[in-house]
Amino acid sequence: MESVRKANQRLRNYPVLLAKCSVAAAAYATCVTTDLNVAHRVCEKEFQQFQLCLQKAAREMGTKL
């Protein structure tokens, strides 16, 4: 049950991680929602920035994603 407890703790950290990366998340969301027919990898740059931000924030918090 230890793995379940750790997974639940990581899930509880997601709102904090998203709050720390709100600017990158908003940029990615804006890119994705500009067109109804989103093509593959159209928003790759924004996604990479968002992903890097999440990884950095998780590292600073001492947690995994």
- The pLDDT tens digits of the residues spanning 11-65 come to 999 999 999 999 999 999 999 999 888 889 999 999 999 999 999 999 999 998 8
End-to-end CA distance of the chain: 19
- The pLDDT tens digits of the residues spanning 32-42 come to 999 888 889 99
pTM: 0.85
CA–CA separation, 50 vs 25, rounded Å? 6
pLDDT number for residue 35: 86
CA–CA separation, 31 vs 46, rounded Å? 7
